Amino acid sequence: MPGNTFGHSFRITTWGESHGKAVGVVVDGVPAGLELSETDVQKDLDRRKPGQNEVSTPRSESDKVEILSGVFEGKTTGTPISMLVWNKNANPGAYDYIRDIPRPGHADLFYAEKYGIRDHRGGGRSSGRETIGRVAAGAIAKKLLLLSGIEIIAHVIELGGIRATPLSIEDICKNVESTQVRCADLDAAEKMLQRVRLLREEGDSIGGIVEIIATGVPRGLGEPVFDKLDADIAAAIMGIGAVKGVEIGAGFECAGMAGSQMNDAFILQDGTIVQDTNNAGGIIGGISTGMPVICRAAVKPTPSISKTQKSVDMSSMEETDVEIHGRHDPTIPPRMVPVAESMIALVIVDHMLRSGRINSDSLY
């Protein structure tokens, strides 16, 4: 089963299953000399971990990270950094009743047909728990990017059809972690929370939209043909479970705009040519423009729902009803926020290293 590795110069390989012994990541390509501790990584893992509040799964995991290699006396050595999180609250037996019944909205059927393996223990590699490795690696990427003045923030802008009012980056940063749904518009956040509660009582789930903003990205990242920055970002975000759509800048709205509305005009600012708007979302021709990189991800409703759905028993080949019980996120976007930040950080740090803007050998 290939495809567990992401990136070129900053390369991560995630491993482990949702209900196996542990999950983790090996990060290759971190320059020597970066100050790094488990606390740096833990901060983001705590934002991702389950059981945080009523909008996340009640699965109780502390998700404490252990750095096994690649760090000496508080600094990276340039060798692979291996990080591990033990699964403490795994309960594979809870999935026995669906051993032969593929869950609608999940990869179960197609995974079993393709590999001949039915890992019925909560999705195996397709589980949201796989994203622990991405978030741990992303924390290192973010730390490295901060040295170049690049910061990444994600927030929920829509949940269950309720849309947040657009806010300044300062207000987003100030408010986003203060609400359970990670929406910086506090009025909308309250309405979103009510909607999650309602759908959960009905045994259903809702989806939403996560927006990711990267500031301080220098001009000139990305190559114009097959290594476009926006193409790499789209692949990175689409590669997160439950994401069904990705847009950059004006995104799908650009289809209904006139060229005169869409084009970001050039103006002079202190002798430099800049753009007066950012419909392009910080990328034109696959190359970063120096404006904030803005990306949005459409996230589907959590597939595991306790409402009755149709499925087929793969052993008897008879149609059957299935209700998914157990521990699930009633909605995924709030937990996706740190995952989406990490994936964008991984793409940008990779381009920074490949273009020589960050020295790949050492920060000394």
Residues engaged in binding ligand FMN (CB under 6 A): 57, 106-107, 123, 126-128, 131, 240-242, 300, 302-304, 328-329, 332, 335-336, 339
* Contact in structure between 302 and 330 (CB atoms under 8 Å): yes
Q: Is 241 helix (H, G, I), strand (E, B) or coil?
A: coil
Q: Across the strands, what pairs with 283?
A: 288
Residues 84, 68: Cα–Cα separation, whole Å = 7
The tokens of 156 are what? 């929920």
Closest to ligand FMN by CB, 106 or 351: 106
Closest to ligand FMN by CB, 29 or 133: 133
Closest to ligand FMN by CB, 243 or 248: 243
Q: Least Å distance between CB 220 and ligand FMN?
A: 31
Q: Least Å distance between CB 89 and ligand FMN?
A: 13
Residues 277, 354: Cα–Cα separation, whole Å = 28
Q: Least Å distance between CB 103 and ligand FMN?
A: 7
What count of other Cβ atoms lies within 10 Å of the Cβ of residue 11? 18
Q: Least Å distance between CB 116 and ligand FMN?
A: 19
* Residue carrying the six token digits 């408010």: 175
Closest to ligand FMN by CB, 253 or 323: 323
Closest to ligand FMN by CB, 264 or 341: 341
- Report how far Cα 332 is from the mean position of its chain's Cα atoms: 10
Helix-helix angle 131-146:38-48, to 10 degrees = 130
Q: Across the strands, what pairs with 141?
A: none
> Closest-CB residue for ligand FMN?
128
What count of other Cβ atoms lies within 10 Å of the Cβ of residue 110? 11
Residues 181, 178: Cα–Cα separation, whole Å = 9
Q: Least Å distance between CB 244 and ligand FMN?
A: 7
Q: Least Å distance between CB 326 and ligand FMN?
A: 9
DSSP code string of 16-39:
E-TTSSEEEEEEE-PPBT-B--HH
Q: Among residues 182, 193, 196, 110, which one has the least CA distance to residue 340?
A: 182
Q: Least Å distance between CB 99 and ligand FMN?
A: 17
* Contact in structure between 350 and 20 (CB atoms under 8 Å): no
Closest to ligand FMN by CB, 279 or 302: 302
Cα separation values, 181 from 51, 262, 286, Å: 13, 31, 32
Closest to ligand FMN by CB, 219 or 244: 244
Q: Least Å distance between CB 44 and ligand FMN?
A: 12
Closest to ligand FMN by CB, 247 or 329: 329
- DSSP designation for 162: E
